[in-house]
């Protein structure tokens, strides 16, 4: 998929429908059929001895992670694993550590986790790895220097593509003019941080009549901690600190939803875009509060992460740079940093939201 698709609602729609609708189901059927033909049994090549896998989101009450877990559970079903969705109510490292400790105590075989804090959870992950638990991060990784705490990380797409796409979306809406602020998740989240880092120089070099509110990226960035109430407060803090703000990018499903709700409630004129779950954003796209948001398919992200974990436990995948693995119909290669990427984000507008809101 190329970059032009980020801007093309209709083409995105066509491709996404195939990806989003097709992922899990077809693959498992094909795989089972092949196995039946060759072995006469219904065992698949990667199916194995009832692994117990913990699926841990940044916080359990975030809609995005319910979709992520849906994909994870689908893979678990295909692979004969038992998967439990467990995690904290608040998206912080210390809150996740308590659950990681529980995973160790209860002797899970693997942990698939989106790191709420790229550093705070590392000692607990290392302890889990030492206890023989296979760890795959997915959605949000640990800090690069702690990459050996996990087998591999499964991320949506290269950071710069996610960051620059969001700048293009806001630029389009504000007519390439005015100052922009960011309403992020937690300051400790690796995923939002790398996207924001990519936004900074791109906006400055691509849009001469746009700027970061307050004069630089740091002054323009506010943190809602993936908490709905705090995100609304931070949205209002942006408006009061920068009354001339032309646009807000919220690279978090929690933040962009809070911003849309508050924009509507206040009748604010600021443009809002970012990474939104279509099912949550549909009302605000349908009523014109929001023109465009984007996101990858979180169902795929959870699905692929479970495959990587099980293949790792089976000794069929070691996570090394250059190694490859398959999950359903997709195949993935591990690149520098121990990362496997899914693909570019899709965009959602009034033209395709009706379809996507039914999927995730």
Secondary element (H or E) of residue 82: strand 82-85
Closest chain position to ligand RAM (CB): 64
Q: How far is the CB of 158 from ligand RAM (least distance, A)?
A: 14
- Report the residue number, 59 or 203, with the smaller CB distance to ligand RAM: 59
**212 SS3 class:** strand
- Residues 23 and 234: their CA atoms lie apart, in Å, by 36
Q: Kindly state whether residue 114 participates in binding ligand RAM, applying the rule CB under 6 A.
A: yes
Q: Kindly state whether residue 140 participates in binding ligand RAM, applying the rule CB under 6 A.
A: yes
Q: How far is the CB of 83 from ligand RAM (least distance, A)?
A: 19
Number of residues engaging ligand RAM in binding (CB under 6 A): 13
- Residues 15 and 202: their CA atoms lie apart, in Å, by 27
Q: How far is the CB of 302 from ligand RAM (least distance, A)?
A: 12
From the CA atom positions of the chain, what is the Rg in Å? 20
Binding track, positions 216-255, relative to ligand RAM; x by CB under 6 A: ----------x-------------------------xxx-
- Residues 126 and 117: their CA atoms lie apart, in Å, by 14
- Report the residue number, 70 or 316, with the smaller CB distance to ligand RAM: 70
Binding track, positions 72-91, relative to ligand RAM; x by CB under 6 A: --------------------
Burial of 120 (0-12, 13-18, 19+ CB in 10 A): middle
Burial of 331 (0-12, 13-18, 19+ CB in 10 A): exposed
Task: Quote the distance between the C-alpha of residue 206 and its chain's center.
Answer: 26
Q: How far is the CB of 351 from ligand RAM (least distance, A)?
A: 22
Burial of 267 (0-12, 13-18, 19+ CB in 10 A): exposed
Q: How far is the CB of 327 from ligand RAM (least distance, A)?
A: 19
Q: How far is the CB of 58 from ligand RAM (least distance, A)?
A: 6
- Report the residue number, 59 or 79, with the smaller CB distance to ligand RAM: 59
Binding track, positions 264-283, relative to ligand RAM; x by CB under 6 A: -----------x--------
Kindly tell me which residue out of 5, 19, 20, 62 binds ligand RAM, with binding defined by CB under 6 A: 62
Q: Which two tokens stand for residue 247?
A: 């646009």
- Report the residue number, 27 or 190, with the smaller CB distance to ligand RAM: 190
- Residues 300 and 323: their CA atoms lie apart, in Å, by 20
Kindly tell me which residue out of 64, 108, 346, 356 binds ligand RAM, with binding defined by CB under 6 A: 64
Annotate 288-302 with b (16+ C-beta within 10 A) or e (fewer).
Answer: ebbbbbbbbbbbbbb
Are 128 and 151 in contact by the 8 Å Cβ rule? The answer is: no
**216 SS3 class:** coil
Q: Kindly state whether residue 168 participates in binding ligand RAM, applying the rule CB under 6 A.
A: no
What does the binding site for ligand RAM look like in residue numbers (CB under 6 A)?
A: 58, 62, 64, 114, 139-140, 185, 191, 226, 252-254, 275
């Amino acid at each position: 998929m190329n970059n032009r698709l980020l801007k093309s609602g209709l083409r995105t729609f066509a491709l996404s429908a195939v990806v989003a609708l097709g992922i899990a189901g077809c693959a498992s059927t094909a795989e089972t059929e092949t196995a039946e033909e060759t072995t006469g049994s219904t065992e698949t090549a990667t199916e194995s001895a009832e692994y117990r896998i913990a699926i841990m989101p940044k916080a359990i009450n975030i809609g995005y992670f319910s979709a992520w877990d849906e994909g994870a559970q689908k893979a678990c079903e295909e692979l004969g694993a038992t998967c439990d969705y467990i995690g904290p109510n608040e998206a912080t490292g210390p809150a996740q550590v308590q659950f990681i400790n529980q995973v160790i105590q209860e002797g899970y075989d693997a942990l698939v986790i989106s790191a709420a804090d790229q550093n705070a959870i590392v000692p607990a992950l290392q302890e889990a790895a030492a206890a023989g638990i296979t760890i795959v991060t997915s959605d949000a990784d640990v800090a690069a220097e702690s990459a050996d705490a996990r087998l591999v990380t499964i991320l949506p797409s290269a950071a710069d593509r996610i960051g620059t796409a969001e700048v293009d979306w806001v630029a389009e809406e504000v007519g390439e003019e005015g100052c922009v602020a960011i309403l992020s998740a937690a300051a400790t989240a690796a995923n939002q941080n790398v996207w924001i880092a990519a936004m900074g120089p791109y906006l400055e070099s691509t849009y001469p009549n746009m700027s970061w509110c307050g004069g630089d990226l740091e002054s323009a960035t506010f943190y809602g901690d993936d908490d709905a109430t705090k995100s609304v407060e931070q949205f209002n803090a942006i408006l009061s600190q920068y009354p001339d703000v032309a646009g807000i990018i919220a690279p978090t499903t929690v933040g962009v939803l809070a911003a849309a709700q508050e924009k509507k409630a206040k009748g604010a004129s600021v443009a809002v875009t970012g990474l939104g779950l279509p099912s949550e954003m549909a009302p605000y796209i349908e009523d014109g509060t929001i023109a465009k948001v984007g996101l990858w398919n979180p169902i795929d992200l959870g699905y692929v992460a479970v495959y990587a974990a099980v293949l790792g436990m089976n000794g069929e995948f070691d996570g090394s740079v250059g190694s490859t693995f398959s999950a359903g119909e997709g195949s993935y290669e591990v690149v520098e940093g121990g990362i496997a990427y899914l693909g570019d984000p899709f965009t959602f507008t009034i033209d395709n939201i009706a379809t996507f809101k039914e999927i995730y």
